[in-house]
Structure 1
Amino acid sequence: TALDAVRKLRDTASSHDRLFIIEVMGRRCGFLAAQVALASGAEYVLLPEMPFDLDHLCKKLHYARRQGKTHSLIIVAEGVMGAQDLAAKLKDTAGYEARVTVLGHIQRGGSPTAFDATLASRMGAHAVKALLEGESGIMTGSLCGQMVAHPLPVAWEEKKPLSDEVLSLMEMLSI
């Protein structure tokens, strides 16, 4: 999974200053990048929903270095920019050499947790029930713990905003 890959990269950090940039899926939505950033303890995350400020990022990295931090982790949603592009900007702007990993579709291949397996079973049962009741053109999902059905276009037409709580927590837990 994305989190496992991020943890493995972070654990390889030595006593030298290291900067890891991990690019995850998220062309139009930063939900996955936000979750990976929180779960991995990333110092910075770039999301399509938030303006990117290279100077702000450099200031945070310099501050961390002055505090004795020897490695930093940045998560980038692919819709903001490529991880290689960010690495080049950081090298040109602040002199940071970065290790770059683009997870791509590999992050879809993790082993399901018990929660994942249970959710899949619940959603499958809900979808079959809807079909038996004559519904079509819908998707099933979980909303506040309850199984719900929505018209398929909701999946690509309606953008679910990131919660203010998650955004605030990411800022609080970063460098």
Structure 2
Amino acid sequence: MTPEGQQRGAEVLRARGIDGLVVIGGDGSYQGANKLSKLGIKTMGLPGTIDNDIPFTDFTIGFDTAVSIVVDAINKLRDTMTSHERSSVVEVMGRHCGDIALYAGLASGAETILVPEVPFNLDEVAMRMQENFRHGKRHSIIVVAEGVGDGEEIAARIAELSGIEPRVTCLGHIQRGGTPTHNDRVLASRLGDFAVQKLIEGESGKACGIIKGELVTTDIDLVTSTKKEFNMELYNLALRLSQ
């Protein structure tokens, strides 16, 4: 975190004979890689975070696994909600990025998805639930990214507005565990090999990513200073399918 510490890190790497460093992580890890690169250590960054909040890559390592875990949990919750004619608020990770909520909600057919990137109105959520119940639907799944608020508070407000009391499930750190999906394993293998090849070719201070199936590198300076764009096309698709 300090120039002295960064210099010491570079000295340790040189003393150990390390001539290339692959840093796997998110923004903080990339900041560290960038500092070492400027001190003459050849570095490459790999996007490793379940939040999928790193720009200049379509997906990050761990995201697909986290989404699969959430979808599996929602599927099980829907079985219970359907049989008992209840609704459920599912709180997932995503303080600043709603991609886990978006992809898991879309994949599991959630009736409502709340993310920090898109303004929402709980009055409208409550009205939609009431409308669904009037048309004979007796359960509803609301996926909430943690960045939009506490799941318990949101559920309490929905109950107040609609008269329908949702049960709350906070998946928490269960999303960070589990066996990686084959997509994550293939992505990590491709990106790792790509990073090493780029180091051998003499590149440094770059972040590796995948865009439309193609492996790419981007200056870490640019990656750390850019906010990832939210996929409104997928969000609007989820809205249409939930109606």
> What's the TM-score once normalised by structure 2's chain length?
0.67
8 A contact 2:129–2:162 mirrored in 1 = no
The residue identity in structure 2 corresponding to 1:130 is K
Q: Secondary structure at the match of 1:147?
A: strand
RMSD (Å) for aligned C-alpha atoms: 1.7
8 A contact 2:87–2:165 mirrored in 1 = yes
2:139 is the counterpart of 1:71: yes
Gaps of 5+ in 1: none
- For residues 111 and 64 of structure 1, the distance between their equivalents in structure 2, rounded to whole angstroms, comes to 36
Q: CA deviation at 1:138?
A: 2.7
The count of residues paired between Structure 1 and Structure 2 equals 175
Q: Which digits, 9 at most, give the CA deviation of each residue in 1:116-167, with x for residues without a partner?
A: 2111110010111122233333321101111112233555532222233212
Which range moves more in the overlay, 37-46 or 100-109? Answer: 100-109
Q: What does residue 128 of structure 1 align with?
A: 196
Q: Which digits, 9 at most, give the CA deviation of each residue in 1:69-101, with x for residues without a partner?
A: 111000001111111111111122222222111
2:238 is aligned, of 138, 159, 170, to 170
Q: What does residue 94 of structure 1 align with?
A: 162
8 A contact 2:90–2:170 mirrored in 1 = yes
Q: What does residue 41 of structure 1 align with?
A: 109
- For residues 26 and 157 of structure 1, the distance between their equivalents in structure 2, rounded to whole angstroms, comes to 19
8 A contact 1:15–1:70 mirrored in 2 = no
2:98 is the counterpart of 1:50: no
Q: Secondary structure at the match of 2:207?
A: strand
Q: Residues 23 and 155 (structure 1 numbering): CA distance in 2 closer, same or farther, change over 3 Å?
A: farther
Q: What does residue 51 of structure 2 align with?
A: none
Q: Residues 111 and 162 (structure 1 numbering): CA distance in 2 closer, same or farther, change over 3 Å?
A: same
2:230 is the counterpart of 1:157: no
Q: Secondary structure at the match of 1:20?
A: strand
2:88 is the counterpart of 1:31: no
Which of these two proteins has the greater Rg computed from alpha carbons? Answer: 2
- For residues 204 and 234 of structure 2, the distance between their equivalents in structure 1, rounded to whole angstroms, comes to 34
Which range moves more in the overlay, 13-22 or 141-150? Answer: 13-22
1:105 is aligned, of 173, 184, 201, to 173
- For residues 131 and 68 of structure 1, the distance between their equivalents in structure 2, rounded to whole angstroms, comes to 60
Q: What does residue 77 of structure 2 align with?
A: 9
Which range moves more in the overlay, 33-42 or 165-174? Answer: 165-174
Q: CA deviation at 1:8?
A: 1.2
> What's the TM-score once normalised by structure 1's chain length?
0.91
- For residues 111 and 153 of structure 1, the distance between their equivalents in structure 2, rounded to whole angstroms, comes to 33
- For residues 163 and 124 of structure 2, the distance between their equivalents in structure 1, rounded to whole angstroms, comes to 15
Q: Determine what percentage of the aligned residue pairs are the same residue.
A: 47
Q: Secondary structure at the match of 2:217?
A: strand
Q: What does residue 183 of structure 2 align with?
A: 115
Q: Residues 17 and 120 (structure 1 numbering): CA distance in 2 closer, same or farther, change over 3 Å?
A: same
The residue identity in structure 2 corresponding to 1:83 is G
Q: CA deviation at 1:64?
A: 0.6
- For residues 180 and 166 of structure 2, the distance between their equivalents in structure 1, rounded to whole angstroms, comes to 31
Q: Residues 138 and 174 (structure 1 numbering): CA distance in 2 closer, same or farther, change over 3 Å?
A: same
- For residues 22 and 39 of structure 1, the distance between their equivalents in structure 2, rounded to whole angstroms, comes to 14
